[in-house]
Structure formats: structure tokens, C-alpha cells
Amino acid sequence: MNLHSRFPAITDLRARARRRIPHFVWEYLDSATGVEATQRRNRTALDKVLFDPSILHGAWEPDLTTTLLGQAYPLPIGIAPVGMSGLIWPGAEQMLARIAAQEGIPYTLSTVATQLPEDVGPHAGDHGWFQLYPPRDPGIRDDILKRVKSSGFNTLVLTVDVPVASRRERQTRGGLTNPPKLTPRLALQAARCPAWLNGIRKTGMPRMRLMDSYSDVKTALPSTQHIGYLLRTSPDWDYFKSLRDVWDGLLIVKGVGRADDAARLTDEGADAIWVSNHAGRQFDGGPAAIETLPAIRAATPLPVIFDSGIGGGLDVLRAIAVGADFVMLGRAFHYGLGAFGARGAAHVLDILRQDMISNMGQIGAKSFAALPNCLRSIQ
């Protein structure tokens, strides 16, 4: 099957994935928090970033390459961390790590993934990043860092926008607990999705294996208050400084939404700033992430990474035009997995690539550096 002929957009993959993933898993993947207004604001604000089309610029191929933190990439795109990735699609972490290695882009493994860093790192090669939810115990923190580094992850991503569990009401109504358990209600949903269920039978019910290795807690918890919350802390500036002291690799801070925080992180030794509002999954009363990006770009000379609401290649161009150096996507790659497994996730990357080429041709941008000059307005 030619996927481009029937599934030319990420929304097409999303629709197919929804039919192939059990409802309780879908609610975990696709939901935000509150009334999901921030999720909608992300989309609306991206749509307000406009370009002026260009004419009579002849035939040419745009340059899609970029450099981030001293490394060259064929695209300004990476795979963002998604907790419990292997619940969404069995074997997801290894699949995505292999795709990242093959395509030469970053793959970010979550602290609350279903696989251990030792089991995923070799698949990612030199392209593995590790996302850290900060452990309260310095001994656990240092042991995780040691394991991560020995598994080949040399870039650490500290997430700072999850100080407490969000409510995620839609996810809660879905009935998911941690570790996941197939109650009669959820088992019926799973039975309607045979490809997902067959995969789970091979891998076993997913657990947060890294977190499990530091705790013997057996009690089922709500999905919004998983075992990670029993072990981690809400970091402060002193925590960041101590982490900077013990981690000798690249350190990115994810979840930044204010220019003054970006400026201070620059002074305190961060290597890059990751602008994100967690795609609306943590707080429903804040601005769209793209609205905060220009001020953060102006506040720091560091590389700026962006996520939240990206739905296609045009959105990638929008983010770069208003200040991002690099763009990460999480849900989109999991829509691809749910639709067609590893082939679907690879197709997501090709959709993004072709979409960028098409839109850069329309506005006459031969490189990403030209995008700000093509920008019309942010209304």
C-alpha cells in the first residue's frame, strides 16, 4: 500500500490509530487536562502564524538540514518523550529508537517509559536523549544518570513543568491505572483491537520498569499519579544546579514558558531551552506555547527547541519562523504506530518532510534561515 495515497496527513493516521487502539489507551494518548482549552489554543495560535506566498522564484530544492548542539541533522525534527509509550503500541520505544537511528534524528526516552534505558539505548545509537523526571533521592538520581550514560544517552532533558500530577479528567474517566490492569471493562475494549492485544500478549502488560527498579510498591495507582510521583520531587533552582554539577553531558531544560526563566537557565548552565506547555496536558489556564516562543527566543542565545500542538510540516516551519531551532513531536509518531506500527511512525517523518518541502516552495524559502523574512504576522 502506498501510504501517501491514502494517508497523506497525520490526521489520517490519527483516525486509523483511534480504531486500532483500545479506548482507555486512546484517552491516555489523545487527552489534555481540564476542558482542554490549552490544547485548542495551541492549534488556534499556530494557525495565526502566517507567511506571504512568493512567486517567480524558479525551480529549486529547499535545504532541510540543520545543526543543533554541535550535531548536524537531516531535518529539524525529533521524537519527543511520551510516558508509557509501550502501552500506546507494544514495543514502541525500540521501534521509535530504531527509526531515529536510521533517519539520523533524536529520540527521547521517558523516565516513565515501559522499557529500561539499557534495552533502548543500543537501538538509538548516537541519537538517544533521556528525559528525566527528577528523583527526590540523590542516590537514585545518580544511579539513573549512571545507567543512562552507560546505555548511550549523552543528552539529558530535565522536565520542569510537571511539579504535581495534573488531573487529566478525560484520561481518568477512561479507567487507566498504573500499572495498567485489564479490568472486565478494559478487557472488552482491548478485545476489539486484536493487533494491539496480540502485541501486548507478546510484550506483557506495560509497566514503568525503570521506576519499578527503585520501588517495591504494588498498589495500583491512578494513571495521573503513577509510581514516578512516589520517587520524584518538584525541582527548584538548587536542584538544577546540583544536576548540572553531576551530569557531564548536554543538559536541556524542557517545559519553559517564560522569558525570565530562559534567561536565568542560560546563566545557570543549561545547554538548550525547550519551550513547551506539555501539549496542554498539565495546565489548562496558560497561553499557547507558540505565543511564548518569540520572547524566549529574544531572552537567550542558547538553542531553542519547541513542541506543543505541531500537526504537520507547516507547523514546524511556523515554529522555526518565530524562534525555534528545532521541533519535537510526540503524539504524531504514536498515531503512526497505532495506525501501521513502525511503518506508520516512519511515514509520519516522511509526511513532515514532504510538507516542509511543499510549503517552503510556496513561500520561496530556500533554507530555514529565510523563514522569518517570509513571515507575515502573528495576530
Q: Could you give the residue numbers annotated as active site?
A: 278
**Separation between Cα atoms, residue 307 and residue 292, nearest integer Å:** 12
Determine the 3-state secondary structure of 251 from DSSP: strand
Contact by Cβ (8 Å): 95, 337? yes
How is residue 71 written as a grid cell? 550535531
128: Cβ contacts below 8 Å, ≥ 6 apart: 97, 100, 106, 107, 108, 109, 120, 121, 151, 152, 153, 154, 155
Q: Looking up cell 479507567, which residue turns up? A: 175
Closest Cα partner for 135 from 231, 245, 3? 231
Task: List the beta strands (DSSP E) in 135-232.
Answer: 155-159, 177-178, 221-222
DSSP H or E run through 146: helix 138-150
Q: Looking up cell 544517552, which residue turns up? A: 153
